[in-house]
């Protein structure tokens, strides 16, 4: 096993949040935001819950946003310290005006701000999850141009992640001393770090905010459940698992999530972290051209497929106009 310090996280893999209404979630993320639905499946630990995956064409690490939906558990949580507190996308600088207009036409309010010398468009999803689109000139990723949003305006994946904790020091130390991240810049209570296994650029950042005043976050719909960091292969994952354990951070066994292999641990500020492999990816059980079209049931639940399917609300093709009507 490779336990050397060279085993490195390369950047963001996915963010998983909780939705109160799966159809509205599809309408918003696949319809209005134009992300590709890349997988429609159920929670590996609880097949009564939908697990909806959005991303770019193939669901590359760093572009994957996923949602759980538990029937009967639609109550909203509260966004706050101890959570990922925003989903932050990258787009071409020229696209920000397009997004302002598009979001306004769906009744979604936006605010412009500047942070770390970058133009940021802030808004929220229908459950109140804070979202941002950051104007990034230097990002070679293409996003998904096969939906309603033209390729030149497409969201290209996550730019950074935003972790809010009451006391930032311990979270920052885990990132820098164990996970290999390096400080890029700091402005007030926000610090930006870059992943060790990549250049300091969009998709490889994470921001840590220390906020001892805000009321702690409460899990539920409208909040982010966890964040996953990407590693290239199983060997790197095992090396990081050993490194985390040696540094005193309890970490799970490797779990087979079909599309990637994962380990889980909780950082000192309370946020659930996951390390996920870039392989094998989403094309293992359906071709790239058909990703996300049909419900995929993990193999261990195959025998219960009919029951699982019957309990989940059916999903129609994305249509953001349904969101505009509700707004
Ligand atoms: Zn995950």
Q: How confident is the model at residue 1 (pLDDT cuts 50, 70, 90)?
A: very low
Asked if residue 5 is part of any domain, the answer here is: no
The domain total for the chain is 1
Residue 3 falls inside a structural domain: no
Task: Measure 67 CA to ligand 1 centroid, in angstroms.
Answer: 10
153 in any annotated domain? yes
Whether 2 is in a domain gets the answer no
pLDDT digits (tens, 9 = 90+) for 208-267: 999 999 999 999 999 999 999 999 999 999 999 999 999 999 999 999 999 999 999 999
Identify the residue with better confidence: 100 or 199. Answer: 100
- With a CB cutoff of 8 Å and minimum separation 6, the contacts of 222 are 17, 18, 20, 76, 77, 79, 125, 127, 128, 129
Distance 274 CA to ligand 1 centre (A): 6
Distance 107 CA to ligand 1 centre (A): 30
What CATH code is carried by the domain that includes residue 136? 3.10.180.10
| Ligand 1 centroid from CA 220, angstroms | 16
Distance (Å) from CA 45 to ligand 1 centroid: 11
CA 63 to ligand 1 center in whole angstroms? 13
Q: Tell me, what DSSP letter sits at residue 302?
A: G
Residue 1 included in any domain:
no
Q: What is the pLDDT of residues 75-115, one digit of tens each?
A: 999 999 999 999 999 999 999 999 999 999 999 999 999 99
At CA 219, angle to CA 218 and CA 225, rounded to 5?
135
pLDDT band for 326, please (50, 70, 90 cuts).
low
Residues in the chain: 327
CB-proximal residues (5 Å) to ion ligand 1 = 16, 228, 274
- 152 lies in some domain: yes
What mean pLDDT is reported for the chain? 95
Residue percentage of the chain with pLDDT more than 90: 92
pLDDT confidence bin for 5, thresholds 50/70/90: low
Cα of 315 to ligand 1 centre, how many Å? Answer: 22
pLDDT in tens, 180-196: 999 999 999 999 999 99
Residue 220 falls within a domain, yes or no?
yes
CA of 69 to the centre of ligand 1 (A): 14
Half-sphere exposure of 29 (CA within 13 A, CB side): 28
Range of the domain at 129: 11-324
Query: How far is the centre of ligand 1, averaged over its atoms, from the C-alpha of 201 (Å)?
Result: 22
- Cα 80 to averaged position of ligand 1 atoms, centre (Å): 20
Residue 18 main-chain phi, psi, to 5 deg: -120, 130
- Retrieve residue 96's tokens: 């920000």
pLDDT tens-place string over residues 9-52: 999 999 999 999 999 999 999 999 999 999 999 998 899 999 99
CA distances from 35 to 53, 205, 318 (A): 10, 21, 10
Residues 110-145 have pLDDT tens digits of 999 999 999 999 999 999 999 999 999 999 999 999
């Amino acid at each position: 096993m490779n336990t050397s310090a060279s085993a490195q996280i390369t950047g963001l893999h996915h963010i998983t949040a909780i939705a109160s209404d799966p159809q509205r979630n599809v309408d918003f993320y696949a319809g209005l935001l134009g992300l590709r639905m890349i997988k429609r499946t159920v929670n590996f630990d609880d097949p009564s819950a939908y697990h909806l995956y959005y991303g770019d064409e193939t669901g590359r690490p760093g572009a994957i946003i996923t949602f759980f939906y538990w029937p009967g558990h639609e109550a909203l949580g509260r966004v706050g310290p101890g959570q990922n507190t925003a989903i932050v996308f990258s787009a071409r600088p020229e696209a920000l005006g397009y997004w302002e207009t598009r979001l306004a036409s769906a009744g979604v309010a936006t605010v412009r701000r500047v942070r770390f010398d970058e133009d940021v468009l802030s808004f929220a999803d229908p459950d109140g999850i804070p979202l941002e689109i950051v104007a990034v000139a230097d990002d070679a990723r293409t996003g998904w141009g096969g939906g309603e949003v033209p390729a030149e305006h497409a969201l290209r994946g996550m730019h950074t992640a935003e972790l809010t904790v009451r006391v930032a020091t311990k979270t920052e130390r885990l990132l820098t001393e164990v996970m290999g991240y390096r400080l890029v810049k700091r402005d007030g209570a926000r610090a930006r770090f870059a992943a060790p296994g990549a250049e300091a650029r969009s998709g490889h950042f994470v921001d840590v905010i220390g906020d001892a005043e805000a009321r702690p976050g409460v899990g539920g719909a409208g909040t982010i459940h966890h964040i996953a960091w990407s590693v290239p292969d199983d060997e790197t994952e095992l090396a990081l698992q050993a490194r985390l354990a040696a540094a005193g951070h309890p970490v799970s066994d490797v779990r087979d999530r079909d599309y990637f292999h994962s380990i889980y641990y909780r950082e000192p500020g309370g946020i659930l972290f996951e390390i996920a492999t870039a392989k094998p990816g989403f094309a293992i059980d359906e071709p790239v051209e058909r990703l996300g079209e049909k419900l995929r049931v993990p193999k261990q639940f195959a025998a219960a497929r009919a029951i699982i399917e019957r309990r989940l609300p059916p999903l129609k093709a994305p249509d953001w106009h349904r969101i505009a009507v509700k707004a």
